[in-house]
Structure 1
């Protein structure tokens, strides 16, 4: 008997930008990249989409006629629009003051125009990943990569030679996040957030040290890594041969 396998619902993104060229081309790129996306040309249209759709993340232009992105973001963070939705600010303004204003209001990230779509996609995945990590419940999916088995519930990796190596909570969260998006870049800032204790802060140096320790535990050569790779744009990624342990 044939059984229909339920399709996993894709994260739906809302692109809010008064430029039709930007919002339409960005929506098309996101859909080609395996996400779902809808567009809005103004804050009012964005509110209508939020009422009609279950939005996972908003890409919000800062400079819009009428109600600008900062005002709309302020309303979102106040709870006026319902449940909290992550926000990535998108703007042509490069000043640190505007970046700080957006982040102080509660925006999750900030990208300046012109932007590299692949970089924006990586940041989108990072914000979505942080949201999933914030949800309660331990990770349970065991996965294999580069001949290694990761058991996130037990917080261990099983190496190809049969050795079992324990992970700290931060290392376990970091490895889980890297395996969620094989080949995708995790920035040092993302890593710092992942390994920090609740309510605390972590330095970039601590993030790099966590990468160093995780490489050592995976049996990876820090001088010529083949598993946990350095992205010279400022982050790290894991090999892309990740698969579930069946």
Structure 2
């Protein structure tokens, strides 16, 4: 489904041209010196690698039912993440999504897991360079978010690259939660997010049949909701691919 080797070839270029930073150092809370260093490193990272994620866009744009987007973390988000870090962690676990990529795939969760497995199996650095975080059953602290994340980190001197894999059902849920509820400290809203997640999981699976010419409910709503953000009618409609 995905051109695994082609995607990995581009990721290798990103890693090759990215800045060096020893990510095994440990930090807790906001550190001004670290923040300034990360800002400068991320600027270099963007300048040196910005052309490569667009090559993934070009590689997969003609593959149906797969949508791709990416973003580099901005200074405000970096600062917030440092401020929210209340545990002593290695830097690669704090700055683990400086470059984030996302694939949204028309698939059920079981198929998505197989796709991720095949993707990691093709990793040129070996599977040990990939840390898979399966959140399809929810996070440890469950706020409704569902996805599979793969963190690519081949050595101690590169920023990990976070690659998210979503189904369309995940997208319907996660986009809403991120824009409306994400990071709000409210027990009632958190329970609403969990209930919403369970409701989406209960939507009947569309029957596979060549005789049926209608879309599934999930596909119909997804395509209506994201027609301008992820879905493109022609080659000229890809201006917003950096809106992660």
TM-score w.r.t. length of structure 2: 0.28
The structure with more helix, counted as a fraction of residues: 2
Query: Which structure carries more strand by proportion?
Result: 1
TM-score, normalising length: structure 1: 0.28
